[in-house]
Copies of this chain bind each other. A is one copy, B any other.
Amino acid sequence: MIRFNNDYSRGAHPAVLKALAETNAVSYGGYGIDPWCEKAADEIKKHLDKPDAAVHFLVGGTQTNMIAIAACLLPFQSAVSAETGHIHAHETGALEHGGHKILTLPAKDGKLDAGQIEAVAEQYRSSPIQEHITQPRLVYLSFPTEYGTVYSLTELKRIRAVCDKYGMVLFVDGARMGYGLAASDVTLRDMARLADMFSIGGTKCGALFGEALVITDPALKPNFRSYIKQNGAMLAKGWLLGVQFHALFENGLYFDICRRAVDQAMQIRAAFEARGIPVYVPSPTNQQFVVLDHGQIEALEKKYVFEPDHHVDKTHMCVRFCTSWHTSDEDIAALTADIQNL
């Protein structure tokens, strides 16, 4: 079976594994205070114009979201998210478990727009009974979104302007950041300029595991390590994260492997469209959502693993095909041929 079901079904890029093997017999300081975390942070910061940015390395995506967001919010403050946002839809109420409400907004193709956010912020600001509602204090965006779409630079700037107007924090969940950068006019430099905090996902982009969290807002930096430890997220052998991110960023490997996966995804999309099968969402990244009828699903299931998303009607289902850093060109060739013959 050829797997297109997700982008976290395989170990690490060989270069990452090699780096881990090479450092396996060396001793380092624990808890993320080690030369590799420092070097990895430096490599990442080469892509930003924020020499003072704090960079922390965490193990997983939900963990990163819940800790980062909670560190931005006082108890009566809430996060604004698309209904489809990962923090609302797929994290078992982790944010609420930490005490915070999520104010959800209907999303088009997984995205929020600046106007929606402004409306929520204005509603609070103009409320005569503020103390009866939560203060929308943080905007949660995923980049790319859960449906593979990306924000344009213009869209991000508009959202940033709303955040500035209302004193809100902009947090970007970049669990698939590499794929998003490869498919948009947004750079890490832009991200660092526009977001107060954002993550750079490793788990889905070449690492065994790991997410880098970049904090650019000085007010959000102090004591962040205390939040990490208190939430059980401080990896004892923290250098394992540094080693991996260093390997990914040292020579631009991260960008290269994600770009390739996006190119492959575009071939899948083109194949479906050529076959007259519409994409459910026009995603320019490594996740492609298409609507198939049951016959088509049965035909493809014989050879490929892909993921059901939801029933569209009695005879159709929206399904997801994912490429990733380890997708082979042979697998793409096979799939696109089989799509053609559906």
Chain B residue, CB-CB nearest to A71: B75
Query: CA–CA, A232 to B62, complex, Å?
Result: 5
User: A26 to chain B: which residues have CB within 8 Å?
Assistant: 10-11
Cβ-defined contact, B62 with A229, below 8 A? yes
User: A203 to chain B: which residues have CB within 8 Å?
Assistant: 236-237
User: A6 to chain B: which residues have CB within 8 Å?
Assistant: 30
| Count of chain A residues with a beta carbon within 8 Å of a chain B beta carbon | 75
Q: What copy number does this chain have within its complex?
A: 4
With an 8 A cutoff between CB atoms, is A246 at the interface? no
Q: Would you give the shortest CB distance from A103 to chain B, in whole angstroms?
A: 9
A 114-141 to B, binary, CB cutoff 8 A, 1 in contact else 0: 0000000000000001111111000000
Query: CA–CA, A101 to B132, complex, Å?
Result: 18
Cβ-defined contact, B236 with A134, below 8 A? no
Q: A70-B75, A96-B101, A99-B99 are in contact. Are A234 and B60 (CB under 8 A)?
A: yes
Cβ-defined contact, A90 with B223, below 8 A? no
Ordered nearest first, which 10 A-B pairs have the shortest CB separation?
Answer: A63-B232, A11-B24, A93-B101, A76-B226, A131-B225, A92-B230, A9-B27, A96-B101, A62-B232, A93-B134
